[in-house]
Structure 1
Amino acid sequence: MKSYTINEINDVLKGELVGHTTQQITGPEELKKATNTQITFIGSTKYIKQWADSKACAVIVNDNLTLEHKENCAIIKVKNADLAMAKVLELFNPESPEFEVDIHPTAVIHKSATIGNGCKIGANCYIGKDVVLGNNVILYPNVCVFDETTIGDFTIVWSGTVIRERCIIGSHCIFHTNVSIGADGFGYRPSDDGRGLTKIPQIGNVIIGHYVEIGANSCVDRAKFSSTIVGDGCKIDNLVQIAHNSIMGRSCIMAGHSGLAGSVTLGDGVIIGGSASIKDHTTIHSGATVGAGSGVMGDVAAGQTVLGYPAQEAREMLKQWVAMKRLGKS
């Protein structure tokens, strides 16, 4: 089991250490559940009242908050307790599953594929024709990478993920379990005889930048033509849908159950809340935020926050909600 002294932890955080604890710290935990060998954190005034009853031997706290000192308990003051706790979690992060051999004998690898140095390929993986894996790529068991796909250095792909043909994946990405990259976009039109639907071929691909993380059971569909693009540094939650020909800028965030319809464009740093849905051929400009559960039917200006269904500028929507609440009381 990993354990650290309070000084070893603060050497990483470089905060202001107030008080001291002689306990070896065995891990982080939330305020109410922490034991006397664990460290916790407080990033908001609403949690200060819980500190009195917490058994934690150490706490990371925003430097604008004041806590009561306790015996044999240390306080580390930092600018941002959430970011500091992320560093502590990294210290205690368990090791990833081990590979007994770098390339499992049950993996099927086409003779034309190029496998970089230090790659690890788990049981029952499939790697198709002309696939290129960069250095130190990790494919956990039961991953499929189809023909002519390229995956950059240090990318990690967890079990059940399928990466379809001709996709281009950057370096240092993480795809969690059962991600789908490059499946056909959803394109149909009524048939000439009016008795059914005609499938529109989807002949493009998916391009994913560097340092992208995609959560479990999320889908990024291939383009009808050209490419569906996910920019560098984007973070995508579980159960997210990114439809054909959508383009995401750098460092966008999409929370769980949200979705982009076809040909949506996101600028840099856009935040999409959980269960929000974005209409096709819509542009959400850089720095904008879409609130959870919202339905965006038109373009959103840079830096704007929108809420509701259909989504409107946040302050205007809040005024409408207040007015409706008052009507209900009249």
Structure 2
Amino acid sequence: MKSYSIQEINEILKGVIVGSTIQNITAPEQLEAANESEISFIGNKKYEKFWVTSKACVAVVNEDISIEPGENRAFIKVKNADLAMSQVLALFAPPTPLFNIDIHPTAVIDQTAIICNGVRIGAGCYIGPKVVLGDNTTLYPNVTILDECTVGKNTVIWSGAVIRERCHIGNDCIIHPNATIGADGFGFRPDPERGLVKIPQIGNVIIGNSVEIGANTCVDRGKFSSTVLGDGCKIDNLVQIGHNSKLGRFCIMAGNSGLAGSVTLGNGVIIGGSASIKDHTTIGDGAIVGAGSGVTGDIPAGKTMLGYPAVEARDALKQWAILKRLVNESKSK
């Protein structure tokens, strides 16, 4: 079992220790569940009230903490407790699943594929013709990568993920279980004789560096050209990204949200959980779409939108307040 003194942990965090404890720290845990040998964090003042009943011996806290740690307990004050706690979690993280052999004998690898240095390929994987896997890429069991795809250096693809033909994934990416990259876009047109006619989807998907794609997320290929995810995008589980959509750098999409076809997101856009974005919509840099909102038109940079249909946040809150007042007034009559 890993254990560290508060001084050893602070060597990494480079914070300020307030109080003291001789307890060795064996694990991180949330405030309410921590025991006497565990470290937790207080990332917001509203959680300070839980410290008095917590058994944690140490908490990572922001510099503006307004309480004292107490006897034989300590705080590590830092500029950003959330970021510092991520370093603590990394310190205690268990090892990733083991590979007894770099390339499992049950993996099927086309003879034209290029497998670079340090690549690990788990049982049951399929690597198609002319695929290129960059240095130190890891494929867990039962990953499928079809013809002419490229995967950059240090990328990790978890079990069950499917990378369809001619798609390209950058360096330092993480693709979680059962994600599908490059499935056909949802394109059909009515025909009086043939019913719904499928529109061929002949484009691909291009994913930048340091992108993370959540479990069971689907990123559809372009009808022509590419669906593009810029560097640093973080996509949650169960997200749908439609064909020919283009995401700038460092966009965030929370679970169950979706982009219809040909949506454009600027840099740093945040899409809340279960939000839906109409096709051919453009959302400017730094805009935020609240959870459950429905966007039907373009959004300028920096705006926050709420509601269904989505409007500016201030207007949405006013509308909700008026509706609540009307309902209360009707009850009093």
TM over 0.5: yes
What is the rounded CA distance, in whole Å, between the counterparts of 2:65 and 2:209 in structure 1?
37
What's the TM-score once normalised by structure 1's chain length?
A: 0.99
Q: What is the distance in 2 between the residues matched to 1:323 and 1:69?
A: 44
Distance in 2, Cα, partners of 1:66 & 1:28? 22
CA distance in 1, matches of 2:177, 2:115: 22
Distance 1:115 1:303 in 2: 43
Q: Report the secondary structure of 2:48's partner residue.
A: helix
Task: Please give the alpha-carbon distance, in whole angstroms, between the structure 2 residues aligned to 1:53 and 1:305.
Answer: 37
Shift of 1:108: 0.2
**Count of aligned residue pairs for this structure pair:** 329
Deviations 1:34-92 (A, max 9, x none): 10000011111211111111111101111111222322111111111111111100101
Q: CA deviation at 1:20?
A: 1.4
SS at match of 2:305: strand
SS at match of 1:53: coil
Which residue of structure 2 aligns with residue 294 of structure 1? Answer: 293
Q: Does 1:271 align with 2:263?
A: no
Structure 1 residue 21: Cα displacement: 1.1
Give the whole-Å Cα distance in 2 for the aligned partners of 1:133 and 1:69.
50
AA aligned opposite 2:136: N
1:3 Cα offset (Å): 1.1
Residue matched to 2:213: 214
**Structure 2: which amino acid aligns with 1:105?**
P
2:17 corresponds to 1:23: no
Tell me what 2:240 maps to.
241
Deviation at 1:284, TM superposition (A): 0.3
TM-score w.r.t. the length of structure 2 is 0.98
- Give CA deviations for 1:281-330 in whole Å, capped at 9, x if unaligned: 00000000000000000000000000000000000111001001111011
SS at match of 1:52: coil
Partner in structure 1 of residue 250 of structure 2: 251
Shift of 1:192: 3.4
Shift of 1:269: 0.1
Amino acid at match of 2:274: S
Letter in 2 for 1:158: W
Residue equivalent to 1:316:
315
Report SS of the residue matched to 1:319: helix
Q: Which runs of 4+ in 1 moved over 3 A?
A: none
Q: How far apart are the structure 1 equivalents of 2:243 and 2:186? A: 7
Report SS of the residue matched to 2:96.
coil
Pairwise CA distance, 1:107 = 0.3
Is 1:86 matched with 2:76? no
Q: What's 1:180 paired with?
A: 180
| Counterpart Cα distance in 1 of 2:328 and 2:213 | 45
Other-structure match for 2:147: 147
Matched residues in 2 for 1:190 and 1:105: separation? 48
Aligned to 1:5: 5
Letter in 2 for 1:90: A
Give the letter for the 1:205 counterpart: N
Query: Aligned pair 1:120/2:148, yes or no?
Result: no
For residues 25 and 69 of structure 1, what CA distance do their matches in structure 2 show?
16
2 CA distance for matches of 1:302 and 1:12? 37
Moved more, 46-55 or 162-171: 46-55
Instruction: Specify every segment of 5 or more residues in structure 2 that has no aligned partner in the other structure, as ranges.
Output: none
Q: SS of the residue aligned with 1:203?
A: coil
Structure 2 partner of 1:304: 303
Q: Which residue of 2 aligns with 1:95?
A: 95
**Which string of whole-angstrom CA distances, capped at 9 and with x for unpartnered residues, describes residues 87-127 of structure 1?**
10010111000100000000000000000000000000000
Aligned to 2:51, the other structure's residue is in SS state helix
SS of aligned partner of 2:279: coil
CA separation in 1, counterparts of 2:30 and 2:130? 48
The residue identity in structure 2 corresponding to 1:22 is I
- Counterpart of 1:105 in structure 2 is 105
**CA distance in 2 between partners of 1:117 and 1:49 (Å):** 52
SS of the residue corresponding to residue 287 of structure 1 reads coil
The residue number in structure 1 matching 2:201 is 202
Q: Per the alignment, in what secondary structure is the counterpart of residue 95 of structure 1? A: coil
Alignment gaps of 5+ in structure 1: none
Q: How does 1:166-177 map to 2 (within 5 A)?
A: 166-177=166-177
What percentage of aligned pairs have identical amino acids? 67
Q: Distance in 2 between the 1:70 and 1:316 partners?
A: 45
For residue 55 of structure 1, what is the aligned residue in structure 2?
55
Shift of 1:10: 0.6
